[in-house]
């Protein structure tokens, strides 16, 4: 059923692409396109297990989260120098700005690099310089959220925190990613407490492959302010009610969920149900170089597949992305005015 104000599908797609939006769930290492992997491998003298871009792309056929993570961590192996991190982040920010992303809160996985002998400072200085230059050149604002790899012990997260302290002004918050099942949020309760004491925001991946209990524990044990993915909350009506009442945002990643077989196809994705339940849902790209699209492709793919999504939901998703961001209220107000400009122009245009 479409609302009476609905536009034709092509016009809706244009609106989705044009509307200003924030992206809140993107792993910078997941934006490393195969072409850039090969360029960096050449620049750094790294030998790759695939002869060319096409054969690397053919390996992107995932069965589940872990089969993706194995390939994703291998791809990150070409990142060695500050300029590599800069080039990767600049490429993402350029691409995001082209999608009318006005603000991005970007995950990075320091342990993926420090475990290979790359200094924490190399990683963050490259990313920070790209943030600065993108703001100047493209007008896009961005922040960094440092993720701990949950398959590693909490002790390793504490070592990462120690390495991050000299650069703390570059970091907005902490998150939790990597293999979810068997690595519940409470494993990181102590390090998250320390991070919150530092004034950092807290978010966590939960309820991607893991059960609703992991979402509860991310909220109670980590005091997560947003849940990354969180789609499995639908298995627990009491949790859905709690998330709605407290306006805990879910950063949903539709193409990722289909590629990692959380849902068999986009037609079966529950993003429309989550919105219908009154949740503060946002749409994001997760690892766009691996999952077939950046934020606009994610939006267009779910609006094409799901009849419950129309103009009203498009606007709601953009509003949710601003509400769910950690940006200052003044910035949010300015973005909402820009959004009104875009949607005002579509009135009576259906």
Among ligand HPA, Zn ion, none, what binds residue 208 when CB lies within 5 to 8 Å by partner kind? ligand HPA
Q: How many Å apart are CA 193 and CA 221, to the nearest integer? A: 9
Residues 6+ apart with CB under 8 A from 115: none
Q: Find the binder of ligand HPA among 15, 16, 21, 30 (CB under 6 A).
A: 30
Residue 22 C-beta: closest distance to ligand HPA, Å: 18
Q: Are 234 and 270 in contact (CB under 8 A)?
A: yes
Residue 177 C-beta: closest distance to ligand HPA, Å: 4
Q: Find the binder of ligand HPA among 87, 99, 105, 177 (CB under 6 A).
A: 177
Among Zn ion, ligand HPA, none, what binds residue 221 when CB lies within 5 to 8 Å by partner kind? none
Taking alpha carbons only, the member of 123, 117, 176, 116 closest to residue 151 is 176
Size of the site for ligand HPA (CB under 6 A): 11
Closer residue to Zn ion in complex, CB, 25/332: 25
Q: Which two tokens stand for residue 162?
A: 């120690």
> Cα angle at 126 between 123 and 127, to 5 degrees?
85
Residue 218 C-beta: closest distance to Zn ion, Å: 13
Q: How many Å apart are CA 189 and CA 210, to the nearest integer? A: 17
226 in the Ramachandran plot: left (φ > 0), alpha (ψ -120 to 50) or beta?
beta
Q: Are 251 and 324 in contact (CB under 8 A)?
A: yes
Report CA-CA distances (Å) from 88 to 131, 151, 217.
11, 25, 33
Q: Find the binder of ligand HPA among 23, 105, 225, 287 (CB under 6 A).
A: 287
Closer residue to Zn ion in complex, CB, 286/297: 286
Nearest residue to ligand HPA by CB is: 177
Closer residue to Zn ion in complex, CB, 105/286: 286
Residue 340 C-beta: closest distance to ligand HPA, Å: 33
- Within positions 82 to 121, which residues make up the interface with ligand HPA, using CB under 6 A? none
Q: Does 27 bind ligand HPA (CB under 6 A)?
A: yes
Nearest residue to Zn ion by CB is: 286
Q: Find the binder of Zn ion among 33, 143, 286, 297 (CB under 5 A).
A: 286
Residue 169 C-beta: closest distance to ligand HPA, Å: 25
Q: Does 210 bind ligand HPA (CB under 6 A)?
A: no
Sign, CA dihedral 89-90-96-100, equals positive
Catalytic site residues?
208
Residue 253 C-beta: closest distance to Zn ion, Å: 6
Residue 238 C-beta: closest distance to ligand HPA, Å: 25
Closer residue to ligand HPA in complex, CB, 82/177: 177
Among ligand HPA, Zn ion, none, what binds residue 178 when CB lies within 5 to 8 Å by partner kind? ligand HPA
Q: Which two tokens stand for residue 204?
A: 């966590």
- The full 3-state SS of 130-163, as one line of letters, equals HHHHHHHHHCCEEEEEEEEECCCCHHHHHHHHHH
Do the strands 226-229 and 201-206 form a parallel or antiparallel pair, or are they unpaired? parallel
Q: Does 208 bind ligand HPA (CB under 6 A)?
A: yes
Q: Does 227 bind ligand HPA (CB under 6 A)?
A: no
Q: How many Å apart are CA 88 and CA 24, to the nearest integer? A: 17
- Within positions 146 to 205, which residues make up the interface with Zn ion, using CB under 5 A? none
User: Where do contacts with ligand HPA occur on this chain (CB under 6 A)?
Assistant: 27, 30, 65, 72, 177-178, 205, 208, 256, 286-287
User: Where do contacts with Zn ion occur on this chain (CB under 5 A)?
Assistant: 286
């Amino acid at each position: 059923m479409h609302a009476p104000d609905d536009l034709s599908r092509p016009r809706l797609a244009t609106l989705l692409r044009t509307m200003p939006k924030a992206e809140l769930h993107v792993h910078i290492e997941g934006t490393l396109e195969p072409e850039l992997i090969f360029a960096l491998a050449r620049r750094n003298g790294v030998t790759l297990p695939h002869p060319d871009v096409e054969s690397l792309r053919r390996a992107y056929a995932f069965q589940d989260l872990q089969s993706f993570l194995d390939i994703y961590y291998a791809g990150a192996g070409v990142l060695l120098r500050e300029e590599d991190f800069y080039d990767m982040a600049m490429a993402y920010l350029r691409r995001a700005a082209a999608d009318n992303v006005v603000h991005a809160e970007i995950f990075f996985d320091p342990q993926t690099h420090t475990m290979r002998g790359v200094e924490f400072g190399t990683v963050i200085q490259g990313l920070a310089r790209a943030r600065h230059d993108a703001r100047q050149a493209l007008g896009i604002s961005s922040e960094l959220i440092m993720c701990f790899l949950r398959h590693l012990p909490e002790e390793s997260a504490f070592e990462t925190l120690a390495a991050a302290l000299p650069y703390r002004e570059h970091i907005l918050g902490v998150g939790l990613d990597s293999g979810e099942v068997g690595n519940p949020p409470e494993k990181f309760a102590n390090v998250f407490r320390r991070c919150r004491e530092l004034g950092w925001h807290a978010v966590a991946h939960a309820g991607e492959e893991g059960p609703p209990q992991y979402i509860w524990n991310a909220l109670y044990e980590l005091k997560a302010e947003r849940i990354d993915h969180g789609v499995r909350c639908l298995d627990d009506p009491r949790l859905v009610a709690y998330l709605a009442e407290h306006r805990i945002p879910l950063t949903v990643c539709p193409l990722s969920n289909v590629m990692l077989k959380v849902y068999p196809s986009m037609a079966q994705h529950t993003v429309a149900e989550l919105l219908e339940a009154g949740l503060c849902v946002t749409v994001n790209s997760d690892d766009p170089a691996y999952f077939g699209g950046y934020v606009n492709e994610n939006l267009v793919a779910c609006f094409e597949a799901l009849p419950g999504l129309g103009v009203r939901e498009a606007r709601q998703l953009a509003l949710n992305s601003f509400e769910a961001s950690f940006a200052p209220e003044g910035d949010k107000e300015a973005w909402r005015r820009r959004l009104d400009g875009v949607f005002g122009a579509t009135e009576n245009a259906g």
